[in-house]
Structure 1
Amino acid sequence: MTVRLRAHHLLCMLTYVGKGYTAEFCTNYDGIVARLTRGEDILIVTGPDDVCAPLLSTEAPHCHNDSVLVRDAQAAAAASDLLGATVAPGFRLTLDPATLTRFRSAFAAGTSRIACGGCEWSSLCDSIAGSGFEGTRLLNP
């Protein structure tokens, strides 16, 4: 199977520790990181993805906001720099240990976090990156 992710969720998954918008959101995210840990590949998509799914039935989900599309574009550019390939809708990626380490190193150094500006979870992610990603649920595949 394939996990469908919008580009900025490539960054969010690095610091996911089981906190989120709702219990349903967290249960869904737990399943996604378990699939990624087992080695399922990622398909980059435009708009709402597998992470967004539980929020789509709420009133006015932020998944459709222009600011999220900007965040996706910024994250895609950062991921492209890290991977040396153009990350855009249709791009496929498997998170092997080396790639996950490269993403986390850049995140901790702040070099891939332009998409995180203004995010409500930014301070939590700062703390998690500062702790060496302790407690994160995405493990090396």
Structure 2
Amino acid sequence: MTVRLRAHHLLCILTYAGKGYNPAFVANYDTIAGRIAGGEDVVLVSGPDDICAPLLADADPHCHGANVVRRDRQAAETLAELLSRPVAVGERLVLDDATLVHMREAFARGAIRRACTGCAWAPLCSSIAGDGYAEVRIAAGTAT
């Protein structure tokens, strides 16, 4: 199987530590984190993805908002530069240990965080990165 992610969620998964919008969101995210940690590849999509799924029943899900689309664009641009490869809709990525470590190092030093500007979760993500990613659910070295 393949995990469907929008571009800015490639940044979010770096610091995911079991916190989220509501219990259904967290349960779903935990499942996705387990799949990625287990070695499933990721395909980039436009718009709502597997992480967004529990929020789509909301009256006005933020998943469709202009700010979220902007975050996707900015994340794709910075990650493409960092990874020296296309990060665009339809591209497949394997988030192996080396890739996660490389992305997390860049995230911690702020090199790929342009998409995080204005995000309510940014302080939590900064704290997790500052603590060396000790709490994350997708830890380097967990892939099977």
TM score, norm. by length of structure 1: 0.99
1:136 alignment partner in structure 2: 136
Identity %: 56
| 2:92 aligned with 1:92 | yes
Q: Which residue of 1 aligns with 2:56?
A: 56
Unaligned runs of 5+ residues in structure 2 are: none
Show structure 1 runs of 5+ residues with no match: none
Please tell me whether residue 77 in structure 1 is matched to residue 115 in structure 2. Answer: no
Q: How far 1:63 sits from its partner (Å)?
A: 0.1
Q: Secondary structure at the match of 1:42?
A: strand
In the TM superposition, residue 39 of structure 1 has moved relative to its aligned partner by 0.3
Please show how residues 1-141 of structure 1 align to structure 2 within 5 Å.
1-140=1-140, 141=143
SS of the equivalent of 1:34 reads helix
> What residue identity is the alignment partner of 2:25?
F
TM-score by length of 2: 0.97
Query: Separation in 2 of the partners of 1:128 and 1:85?
Result: 27
Size of the alignment, in residue pairs?
Answer: 141
**Separation of aligned partners in 2, 1:83 and 1:126:** 21
Structure 1 segments, 4+ long, off by >6 Å, are none
Aligned-residue offset at 1:121: 0.2
Shift of 1:70: 0.4
